[in-house]
Structure 1
């Protein structure tokens, strides 16, 4: 709620919706009698001191009627949205559980309904269902349903292919149970957000139906009916129509602002404390001297495989306590292998070489095996892209978390189990004791990712390496995971290396950005300069390829021509030269070094 009220849109939406709800509750008891009182001496008056919005053809006060009509208007909008959401969710979820032919039939029906104009569909349904409030509710609900169905179908399709759904089907779980237990619970949050926004649209549509004479019929009245009654007098006494029009507009705007603010509230970034240095600035330490304050310090890291394959080439990186550093680049640029090298997880026959690889002040390569395992097991937390790969589907979640404390901290099984429940609760997994007794396939995708984060928090991590932890998650759960990473970093003071190919997510989460291409770092800069101050042509191309609300949809989306060279075919010069519009003969022949460029940044390019 605090995040919601920090934004002007969220504050305005909350105030407007709250006012409308209060009006719907208190309006009829307070102004109901005045709204129904007939005064033959005041028929068809304009705005006066006694009647600020005038009176109708029976002398009834229009302001009182507008205030009373809020209850019926909001109630009908809520009912219509519930009808549309219920029908749409069921219709959209069916393809994920029906046989192939049935799924195709439902999908085709949804596509046809989405293509049909919503207002015409609502009017057609209302005429069939009968004029009046009931017909209008059914009509608007029918018009709302295809949008919910399409959204549900899209979300359910991604969930239906998840590993835990496949595991449930393999165990013989019925199709309907798969839908109600594994599919719908995992897509509820975006549907709820869409429901809030749909309320505003339903309110406007119902007012339009009543204005056209297809909705609420006398003697009942809603805002649309009042607008219809006053429209004929709008040129003589405008106030009689402006009152209900203003109520409709304010309510519609309020619900839309609130829905939009709810969708963005989770993405609000709070700057994590815990570091004395300004986040976003590279640490000013000489390459030849260790940085005593750094949590992670890597110098000249190289990962090579037999046959001349070198996915990571001479990478240097420093992360301070409380700092979140984003590592970005196309697939195949060496990001995940960098994380694996830091955690000692490069598979055989890969070879890791580094001039320096220090974690928490200790050189990992120089430690005895037992101490190295203890340091990595307690001070380093790894969060992988696919939590099903990190969690054993045959073991319960709590047991897998407890294993960390038993192996690395010498805890008893009872102590480790209790700490596992505590860590699950710490990352806001609902009913942690129950979840600890469940298998991974029984948890949603977001909850499994939280469980993996909780596994890292079983110790006291000083470094969190998150390797694309939100790629397979829907947008709402993605925001929750990002917010959780921010909060964990702020609470523990840990350093975080966030690896992603999504430069927009990195721009929201991180303090500093390190851009990789073909195994090398090509630019390092504060996140505040990413959108408009990137210097390297590759970084600028990545930012330009990200569409936003101002992107011209009539033009093709921006892209980077060509492809990244394979690790075994990286040229001697700049690896990006073949795709760069600024490349010269020197770029193709000589590799540019990564050198300081301005303040708080480094760039590897001959042409900047």
Structure 2
């Protein structure tokens, strides 16, 4: 559904139509009332002082004989204008404070968040009164007071919404592509939280209107000779027993205007959030030292990792879910990583792609990709290297794309960001990449939104995004999750075709041993944040030496599995990364474990034949995989 169609649908509803009509009338009155009734509102008639409501003066007259009803109409412009100004200030300040954790990083972001939390603890009215005293009585001071008083609540909402969206896969994909923090925020995060922000801003305008009326009523807002609804209400209350209409009319105006903003805010929630600005033409960038596009001469290793550790702060000390991972991926090679959930597979891939930020800590003795050390501080050149030479295919195809942007636009962003292509050239390349991953009618599909794609098509389009550059390595994190068997085969066949056609290396993460056996040359088995076995896939069934590897294989049913017997399972639970057991982490679940296993952790040792294993009893383990045992 298009942006205009969604708006038309909202305006067809009774609430939407009524709210739009009421708010439109208020805004129209704010513009026209000073022109139509301004002279009558200012006309002084000493013969008509403090007259009650009548046919000539519908709300009576004030102490100078001026028509109160005309003054209420004219005051619409002042009241609405000041309320919108205060709302704009609150929204601007709230956006700056709410997005600070994303723009400034965790350290300064935590300071801003703590400040916002303290401010939110105070009632908004109390803050407004405090600021009004600080800035002084008058319209300008009231705008600053109400705007700054409303900023903390809006900032808290922005923090909550942006933190939710910032953890999704399409944001991680944009970061892998090298998109900067500001652009990620503007193009990928804010459009996805637009609905609640606009709704709250609109409702906030109604609240600002009421707050202004309250400050003016107390004498802290608009000062004479200017007037707004709050000031007129205060003057009317002084003679309420003689002329109730003098207080009733401005009070009714405040209520109706606040109701208009609130109703419109509820209605606009259904019509906002899908439109984004057209992308600007790629800007020229200053030259920067290039990053080596290939590995050092004489080496076919694309990725070389030694002693990789990923840790996060915990209540009892650092939690280290990845503990000393060492691996390498060669050109054109497909390496599989397999293990139970929580074994550290995805965190290893995210660390390689530089997607782990503070408070997470990534340490490694060596972390090289295409001959460049990824442990160095991030630069534009490093972002370009990762954005064009490393493709990331995330686990859930439903969250791999920004739902508010068209597929072609999202793919084209890589070419615009890193290749300097203009809009037309980038879109043409996006269409070509969609064609390369077998998306039917690619030009038409490029104009569609992610929800118009099936799960398998979204996954193939995600692979197409990685092909926008010239990827040397594709990191596929559970690329067949939530896909049916036939779609799984298409995705795996596509990865194999890319490998054969372009010599692309693939690092495939999966729970499915069958998938690993089908497409990988080599398999790494991970448990409790470590690689416990590394061997060729062809030898997996017959030469697996680690008890955990054999248990994983035994737990996979096939057509020969006896359906009358219970399925094999691995006893116990995976190790807790916050409190790993002493010695071998698999010892509490291992049938071969002894006291030596429980006290000393085995190293990952190579046997000289291209295999590595971390087990004290690897030589005692049976070679074959016994069906029905775990």
Residue 583 of structure 1: which of 580, 593, 603 is its match? Answer: 593
Counterpart in the other structure of 2:497 = 487
Counterpart in the other structure of 1:380 = 390
Q: Secondary structure at the match of 1:403?
A: helix
| Aligned-partner Cα distance in 2 for 1:360–1:372 | 11
Counterpart in the other structure of 1:547 = 557
Residue 365 of structure 1 deviates from its aligned partner by 2.1
Residue 389 of structure 1 deviates from its aligned partner by 2.0
Q: Secondary structure at the match of 1:549?
A: coil
Give matches, 1:18-57, under 5 Å. Answer: none
Counterpart in the other structure of 1:356 = 366
Structure 1 range deviating more: 305-314 or 327-336: 305-314
Q: Would you identify which runs of 4 or more consecutive aligned residues in structure 1 move more than 6 Å?
A: none
Q: Does 1:295 align with 2:308?
A: no
| Aligned-partner Cα distance in 2 for 1:387–1:594 | 34
Q: Does 1:560 align with 2:570?
A: yes
TM-score, normalised to structure 2, is: 0.50
The CA deviation string for residues 234-282 of structure 1, in whole angstroms up to 9 with x for no partner, is xxxxxxxxxxxxxxxxxxxxxxxxxxxxxxxxxxxxxxxxxxxxxxxxx
The CA deviation string for residues 90-149 of structure 1, in whole angstroms up to 9 with x for no partner, is xxxxxxxxxxxxxxxxxxxxxxxxxxxxxxxxxxxxxxxxxxxxxxxxxxxxxxxxxxxx
Distance change (3 Å), C-alpha of 1:472 and 1:368: closer
- Does the Cα contact within 8 Å between 1:333 and 1:519 map onto a contact in 2? yes
| Aligned-partner Cα distance in 2 for 1:492–1:367 | 30
The CA deviation string for residues 413-440 of structure 1, in whole angstroms up to 9 with x for no partner, is 1100000000000000000001100000
Structure 1 range deviating more: 520-529 or 562-571: 562-571
Distance change (3 Å), C-alpha of 1:506 and 1:596: same
Residue 290 of structure 1 deviates from its aligned partner by 11
Residue 594 of structure 1 deviates from its aligned partner by 0.2
Counterpart in the other structure of 2:539 = 529
Counterpart in the other structure of 1:538 = 548
Q: Does 1:412 align with 2:397?
A: no
**Matched length:** 322
| Aligned-partner Cα distance in 2 for 1:602–1:368 | 33
Question: In terms of Rg, which structure is larger?
Answer: 2
Q: Does 1:592 align with 2:614?
A: no
| Aligned-partner Cα distance in 2 for 1:370–1:569 | 38
- Does the Cα contact within 8 Å between 1:292 and 1:361 map onto a contact in 2? no
Q: Secondary structure at the match of 1:311?
A: strand
Counterpart in the other structure of 2:93 = none
The CA deviation string for residues 3-25 of structure 1, in whole angstroms up to 9 with x for no partner, is xxxxxxxxxxxxxxxxxxxxxxx
Distance change (3 Å), C-alpha of 1:412 and 1:353: same
Q: Secondary structure at the match of 2:299?
A: coil
Counterpart in the other structure of 2:514 = 504
Distance change (3 Å), C-alpha of 1:290 and 1:589: farther
Q: Secondary structure at the match of 1:569?
A: coil
Counterpart in the other structure of 1:310 = 320
Residue 317 of structure 1 deviates from its aligned partner by 0.7
Residue 349 of structure 1 deviates from its aligned partner by 1.1
| Aligned-partner Cα distance in 2 for 1:368–1:541 | 41
Residue 347 of structure 1 deviates from its aligned partner by 3.8
| Aligned-partner Cα distance in 2 for 1:540–1:477 | 28
Residue 596 of structure 1 deviates from its aligned partner by 1.2
| Aligned-partner Cα distance in 2 for 1:292–1:302 | 25
Structure 1: segments with no counterpart, 5+ residues:
1-162, 164-170, 172-288
Distance change (3 Å), C-alpha of 1:291 and 1:565: farther
Q: Secondary structure at the match of 2:331?
A: coil
The CA deviation string for residues 270-300 of structure 1, in whole angstroms up to 9 with x for no partner, is xxxxxxxxxxxxxxxxxxx998320111111
Residue 346 of structure 1: which of 334, 346, 356 is its match? Answer: 356
Counterpart in the other structure of 2:580 = 570
Q: Does 1:446 align with 2:430?
A: no
Residue 366 of structure 1 deviates from its aligned partner by 3.0
| Aligned-partner Cα distance in 1 for 2:454–2:378 | 39
Residue 395 of structure 1 deviates from its aligned partner by 0.5
- Does the Cα contact within 8 Å between 1:464 and 1:496 map onto a contact in 2? yes
- Does the Cα contact within 8 Å between 1:465 and 1:497 map onto a contact in 2? yes
Counterpart in the other structure of 2:156 = none
Q: Secondary structure at the match of 1:366?
A: coil
Structure 2: segments with no counterpart, 5+ residues:
1-169, 171-194, 196-295, 619-630
TM-score, normalised to structure 1, is: 0.52
